[in-house]
Amino acid sequence: MESVIDKFLRYISVETSSDPDSETQPSTQEQTEFMKVLVKELEQIGIKDVTLDEYGYVMATIPSNLGDGVKRPKLGFIAHVDTSPDASGKDIKPQFFHNYDGGDIVINKEKNLVISPVDFPELEEYKGETIITTDGNTLLGADDKAGVAEIMAAAEYIMTHPEFKHGEIKIGFTPDEEIGRGVDKFDVARFGADYAYTMDGGKIGELEYENFNAASAKIFIQGRNIHPGYARNKMINAILLATEFNALLPVEQRPELTQDYEGFFHVVHMSGNVEESMIQYIIRDHDKSKFESKKRLIQECTNFMNLKYGNDRFRLELKDQYYNMKEMVEPHYHIIEKAVEAMKMAGITAEVKPIRGGTDGARLSFMGLPCPNIFAGGHNFHGKLEYVPAKSMEKAVEVILNLVTLYEKSN
């Protein structure tokens, strides 16, 4: 059997960044090619029911080996293959820091890129372990190639150990999660699971069934460009209007100043010139009423700026993206209890906490497939300081197998 670490290293060597500007699904051809690799590997370990559809979804079924007439819930495991477009995912060169001593990890001396426990105190939890990092030129891809590798490693173990008892197991790999389209065309009925888990969380022990309610907002601003030598009382600079709009939003509700259940407005993109500009936000809050208040506020800011400058100079496009899965998962709370027990069996204390983000599982839960999120082991996603402890990935595989065992023993 190939280790989960070896699988991970193979997978991150393939670029699968998603592209928010693409109108295709998957958004990049590289994701499709990588999905074909996964299909081949699933078939090579003996899984016969493997499909890759036109939208880039891989689905596979490991049949129950409990015998005819023994019914158990059909259990699914899901991960996404794309990496974030926030940093390059091409030519990833991982580094290994064995027997980590608890100090600074210098990943790129020339660029002065350091992962320090001063800035990232969770590093101290991994003393003595092997830490895998980037070389400082790309992201690492643990989000979510770690999850992909963990599911594949567990599947290989199950298929090569016929004595391991299990009910029917469903495997799903999705594209474009990082750009919010991960399950746009995911066929829950065809997938066929009763319950599922996304392997897409962070540090070891994380278990999440609460996530943000999420919306995106784009504000298009029409200025008026006049020669600066003759601009007095005539020019309307769209760039300055964009900065003025941003100043209307509460400073304390920026992501860098929030934590736990606190929501935020996050400006993610600004572009334009004197004549026209655009400012883009993501809006997040766990609490539905606060989420709606945030959306109202951004609409009120738009109205105010139009009142001030007239002529509908500001145009808002506001779209909901996904919702807090809590209300869909809590009626099936036993799936959380089983995950807690699966971690306990692996010697891990579960840390049940709200995810300050979203996963494919959030939308899947509203599509009829209760789907909490389990750790994949990585840290500092979407950037050049991303890292993953090797042991965390190994433990994630163990948790998957423990979950399969727990469902095999359930009625």
Three-class secondary structure of residue 123 per DSSP? helix
150, 168, 177, 285: which is the annotated catalytic residue?
Answer: 177
> Do the strands 169-174 and 75-80 form a parallel or antiparallel pair, or are they unpaired?
parallel
Determine whether 150 is an active site residue.
Answer: no
Is the alpha carbon torsion for 157, 160, 163, 168 positive or negative? Answer: positive
Residue 24 C-beta-side C-alpha neighbours within 13 Å? 11
Tokens of 61: 């079924």
Q: How far is the first Cα of the chain from the last one, in angstroms, to the nearest whole number?
A: 32
In angstroms, what CA-CA distances link 396 with 173, 274, 293, 336, 345? 17, 51, 38, 16, 12
CA pair distance 5, 169, nearest whole angstrom: 23
- The closest alpha carbon to 173, from 72, 41, 45, 63, belongs to 41
Render 26-55 in DSSP notation, one character per residue.
Answer: SSSHHHHHHHHHHHHHHHHTT--EEEE-TT
Which one, of 199, 195, 167, lies nearest residue 393 by Cα?
199
Peptide bond into 144 cis (omega under 30): yes
**Options 15, 19, 30, 82, the catalytic residue:** 82
**Nearest Cα to Cα of residue 83 among 19, 152, 151, 172:** 19
| Catalytic residue list contains 82 | yes
Catalytic sites, residue numbers: 82, 177
